[in-house]
A and B are shown apart, each in its own frame.
Chain A
Amino acid sequence: MSAHAATAHTAHTAHEHHETGFVRTYIFSTDHKMIARQFLFLGLFMMILGGLLALIVRWQLAWPETAIPGMGRILRETGGILEPSTYNMAFTMHATIMIFFVIMPILAGAFGNFCIPLMIGARDMAFPFLNMLSFWTTFTAGLIMLSGFFVEGGHAAAGWTSYAPLSAVAQYTGVNWGQNLWCISLFVMGVGSMMGSINYITTIVNMRAPGMHLFRMPLVVWSLFITAILLLLALPVLTSAVAMLLFDRTLGTSWFAPSGGGEPLLWQHLFWYFGHPEVYILILPAMGIASEILPVFARKPIFGYHAMAFSMIAIAFLSWVVYGHHMFVSGMSPALGMAFTVTTMIIAVPSAIKTFNWLGTLWGGRIQFTVPMLNAIAFVSMFVIGGLSGIFMASTPVDIYIQDTYFIVAHIHYVVFGGSIFGAFAAIYYWFPKMFGRMTNGVLGHLHFWGTFIFFNATFFPMHIIGVGGQMRRIYNPMQYEFLQHQQHWNVFITYSALLLGVSQIPFVINFFWSLFAGPKAPLNPWNANTLEWTAPSPPPHLNWGDRIPTVYRGPYEYSDPDAREDFLPQNQPPVGAGARRH
């Protein structure tokens, strides 16, 4: 690779060895790769917590009001039985943690930080100090969120959507400081993610290596670019909404309280105006990751590079005009509901373009079923199921009957677990060699993947069935409803599957930590991929490359070119003859 690097043209003087102390290297680091690892560890830690919360919710639904094994020590007064208020808290915090402190930190935080500078050929982010501040702001938000579990009255229990007036008046849920801390935490998280997104956008606009045109950027960078723009513009709406909610609860304002002239529906408008772009914030990076991994392991160029980039741009635009489909039963005028149905159907088109292009990429490829590839294929297939059930929800006549049932629970988990989490696993397995300089174990990886894939489907697919059967989301005890009792066996089946889904994550944890310390050393380019991060050492040092940053000569997906010597052509490999003009 040094031969390629030598053709980079501009002289660079910034490369020097920094001997920094432990604190500056591992804790208050301004290096984008260390910040990426910090986000990854934050997200994985929170994922364990969010997963355990889901399991206690599942236990309650399968075997209502029985003691949960191991919870006797935590729920002392009830001897391990989940009370309705605790149950509400558990599902509220499961969703809040998974969305804001697992998927966003892992996909946007960790892989945004890791991939953007390395894949566009920059030595670091545009504002390294702001980057560090962004992580520690998010970390503080996480601490505030966790502190809510220990306050009087318990944590927020009004659902992750925190609909007013339920969330706006403390007496309704009996939660006082829990909900306040929930608001404060999301406010702080909003500030942190704004810092991050400004950094990402500026870096991508201004810091690309020579020759890295916008349309030579890897698609994962495109997806993170668009995600950052959505984050930048959507999060401030949530920030102002949670500030209003907090003021209503603490300062006696009347945004959402009808007694003072407020309007409860206003919360839904503000929340979903943020909330729908948020859905794409969660899924777009995973789409980018799949677009990155499929060509590498199919040994084929991505099918329709420009269509992929433009469909992501289309999704970003359309995501602002579909939010009303979350509010079909809020008394919305049918004409407006129809308009939102149509826009929602339209947003399925760019998503379908992406799906067909992924399939086109796989078609006729020499597919290598590595662990990252399996996770990426799982992403595509699960995203298709989640996308199709989304069409049901988008159509008002159907939605009126299945809204707020387990059908929507199944839908969101197919998109956010089947989509985003499989995308996150794919990214972790794919970039682990570059991130930590060591290879992961394939056997444990396959074990983890197949367990997760099988039990994910066993957990969430039956939810479509019980949802159409009428089981409402967020109910405490399905056995209290006569019409739901005949399908209780499904709830038991789902809970067994969910427990096994949890068990399936054990190989991942073992694999992650074993590989971190004892995995075989990773070569420079273990997957024979084209993009620039594989030209830096594994793991890349501070400032990523040696004396010169790479120069880019071609797009990122030139695989299996019949005229090339090898089946891949790295982006920085100069065309023959271009090396003649050296300085």
Chain B
Amino acid sequence: MTPALQAPPRPPAERRTNGRLPPAPPDFGDDGDGEGEHGPRRGLDNLRLAVLFFMGAEAMFFGALISALLVLRLGMAAWPPPLEPRLPIAVTGLNTLVLLASSVTLVTAGRARRRGEPARHVRWLWGTAALGALFLAVQGYEWIRLIGFGLTLASGVYGTTFFALIGLHGLHVLAALVWLLVTTALVARGRFGEGRSAPVQACAMFWHFVVGVWPVLYFTVYLI
């Protein structure tokens, strides 16, 4: 056997680490980046990571509701069931654009923050919140009209699925709106300065999630 094929001599145990894994990094000293005692971090900070996982759980929550809707409507001969009021597709379509626009304003706000323009940042955040509130107001108005036409939570499977899916999304928009308003108020007071913007970004992530769910709901509940 040639020497090249021989196994390398076993180092004494104290020098070995397990298997093919490299030894511990020789030096992760405190390089003054404020990352604490856990060594330099590469990924997301705890808060944004947690919001990301929360979004995963929320996606499953809405996934269950949407699949329930699909199962129920596939079991019906006609959808929407005869004699039920029709949903306001056009108005809600415009409202969809309002909500999508709020995501655009939020991205613009984030750009202003990164450029270091706090006044513009706050202005765009208020604009985002205003669009979210407009969306909720239009939704509420349409709900009142639909209830007036006789579509309620208890009026059969059509009303059940409509109010549950759209209502639970509305609650999420409301929660995201409250979060955004609190965050914006704190930003306006200068709470999240240079390098401390993670809470603002976490809030923005959740806002984008709530906006992102809406087109899916609009498509499954209103359009098909």
Contact = CB atoms under 8 A, between A and B. Distances in A.
B50 A549 contact: no
Contacts of B36: 10
A564 B37 CA distance: 29
Interface string A1-41: 00000001111100000000000000000000000000000
A374 B60 CA distance: 39
B49 to A, nearest CB: 5
B157 A583 contact: no
B70 to A, nearest CB: 10
A305 B20 CA distance: 12
Interface string A560-578: 0111100001000101111
Given A247-B164, A554-B18, A252 B76 contact: no
B64 A270 contact: yes
Contacts of A194: 54, 57
B44 to A, nearest CB: 8
B16 A253 contact: no
A422 interface: no
A301 B16 CA distance: 14
Interface string B9-39: 0101111111101011111111000001111
B37 A583 contact: no
Contact of B64 (A197, A208, A273): A273
Nearest to A274: B64
A127 interface: yes
Contact of A254 (B12, B28, B65, B160): B160
B154 interface: yes
B43 interface: yes
Interface string B115-137: 00000000000000000000000
Interface in A229-287: 232-237, 239-241, 244, 247, 251-255, 260-263, 265-266, 269-270, 273
A581 B27 contact: yes
Contacts of B29: 9-10, 583
Contacts of A273: 64
A210 B50 contact: no
Contacts of B61: 236-237, 239-240
A341 B218 CA distance: 36
A289 interface: no
Contact of B76 (A122, A261, A553): A261
Interface stretch (A166-174, A198-206, A412-420): A198-206
B24 A255 contact: no
Contacts of A569: 13-14
Interface string B151-190: 0011111111000100000000000000000000000000
B157 A261 contact: yes
Contacts of A11: 30, 37
A8 B38 CA distance: 10
A555 interface: yes
B215 to A, nearest CB: 20
A261 B46 contact: no
A399 interface: no
B37 A206 contact: no
A198 B39 contact: no
Contacts of A211: 24-25
A548 to B, nearest CB: 7
A576 B17 contact: no
B81 interface: yes
B71 interface: yes
B10 A240 contact: no
A266 B75 CA distance: 11
A528 to B, nearest CB: 15
Nearest to A251: B153
A247 B156 CA distance: 12
Contacts of B199: none
A133 interface: no
B121 to A, nearest CB: 26
Contact of B38 (A207, A215, A251): A207
B37 A578 contact: no
Interface in A163-216: 194, 197-199, 201-202, 205-211, 213, 215-216
B50 A252 contact: no
Interface in B49-70: 49-50, 53-54, 56-58, 60-61, 63-65, 67-68
A497 interface: no
Given A558-B18, A561-B13, A262 B37 contact: no
Contacts of A251: 153-154
Interface of A: 8-12, 122, 126-127, 194, 197-199, 201-202, 205-211, 213, 215-216, 232-237, 239-241, 244, 247, 251-255, 260-263, 265-266, 269-270, 273, 301, 305, 548-549, 551-555, 557-558, 561-564, 569, 573, 575-578, 581, 583
Interface of B: 10, 12-19, 21, 23-30, 36-39, 41, 43-46, 49-50, 53-54, 56-58, 60-61, 63-65, 67-68, 71-72, 75-76, 81, 153-160, 164
Given A216-B21, A260-B154, 12 more contacts: A9-B28, A205-B43, A206-B43, A206-B49, A251-B153, A255-B72, A263-B72, A266-B68, A269-B71, A563-B12, A563-B14, A564-B14
